[in-house]
Amino acid sequence: MIAIDIGGTKLAAGLVDPDGVVTARRATPTPAGDAEAVWPALAGLLDELVALGRPVGGAGIASAAPMDLRAGTVSPVNIPGWRDFPLVARVAQRLGGLPVRLAGDAVCMALAEHHHGAGRGSGCLLGMVVSTGVGGGFVFDGKPHLGALGNAGHVGHVVLDPAGPECACGARGCAEAIASGPSMVRWAVERGWRPADAARADAAALAADARSGDEVALAAFQRSGAAVAHLITVCVALCEVDRVVIGGGVAQAWDLLEPAITATLRTWAGLDFLRRVELRPAELGADAGLVGAAALLAGGSPLRAVPVRATTSA
């Protein structure tokens, strides 16, 4: 299968075999500009994969949201040039009418971890991404839970503190505005943290300083972990997930994030089933989006492709 991973900074595409192994990959920075500036970059990646001459049965797409599965369109908040962009139809046209499936990037991460990673064996899984944003995806009985239009799992926009910091979505106190990498860095800088390299004021530098004992950096991870824990209790209370797999750039500092999550769950999760949820770090890393996108086809996902006629147009 051809797999596509749409992100605000990078477009990636690859060939994925039935065992979830990425056998070929291509990537390019996401261009700035309108829809017609972004699409040719992705189309070029697809053309390169097709040129390899390997048989493919279809394409799966992991995209940032919001999206509308009924129309096959995406409006990623981190790609301003794409608003109601007909991504499914464009990809299907480029691939000569092959079936195309679409889901959110965090949903695909969860599906990949369920099939091939830390989510194996879970009946009710929440996959959570803590990175430049905070997102989630649910997999119930091996199938992704999508919602009416494909936007289920937008856990980063659950409001945890109505008086909290403003979120890019327009609300206040969203989990993303507290727990994401940029939000952690912003909070730490406001309290006096300065990285050794001023050009690297990011979550990785914050983690390095936290490991060196910087009190503000440590507090930033404790604050983020506590927010993630509160978010987990909401999701478990609503859906009774039995396992939470956490990935993303911030979650790479699992040694810093996990203790704060666990301590908060012990303190604030009152009911037994809330405390029983398993926490695991993601296993698949940067390949999770591609592997999960391919699984949309390989796993018989109920997602619908938008019917199109084959065409060679751009």
Q: What is the pLDDT of residues 217-253, one digit of tens each?
A: 999 999 999 999 999 999 999 999 999 999 999 999 9
Label residue 300 by pLDDT band (50, 70, 90). Answer: very low
Q: What is the CATH number of domain 2-104+289-298?
A: 3.30.420.40
Residue 154 confidence (pLDDT) above 80 = yes
Please report the sign of the dihedral spanned by the C-alpha atoms of residue 49, residue 94, residue 58, residue 110: positive
pLDDT value, residue 299: 56
Q: Distance (Å, rounded) from C-alpha 102 to C-alpha 294?
A: 10
118-282 matches 2-104+289-298 in CATH topology: yes
pTM of the complete model: 0.90
Report how far residue 61's alpha carbon sits from residue 215's, in angstroms, rounded to the nearest whole number.
Answer: 41
Side-chain-facing half-sphere of 290: CA atoms under 13 Å: 25
Residue 309 has pLDDT above 90, yes or no: no
Question: What is the arithmetic mean of pLDDT over 251-257?
Answer: 96
What residues does each domain of the chain span?
A: 2-104+289-298, 118-282
- Cα separations (Å) of 77 from 40, 95, 101? 19, 26, 20
Class (C level, CATH) for 118-282: alpha beta
- With residues binned 3-state (H G I as helix, E B as strand, rest as coil), the percentages for the chain, rounded to 5, are 40, 20, 40
**104, 65 Cβ separation under 8 angstroms:** yes
Joined tokens for residue 86 = 């007909």
Q: Does the pLDDT of residue 98 top 80, yes or no? A: yes
Alpha helices in the chain (DSSP H): 35-50, 87-94, 105-116, 175-179, 181-190, 203-211, 215-239, 254-268, 272-275, 288-298
Residue 63 burial (CB count, 10 A):
27
Which class for 165: exposed (0-12), middle (13-18), buried (19 or more C-beta within 10 A)? middle
**Percent of the chain residues topping a pLDDT of 70:** 95
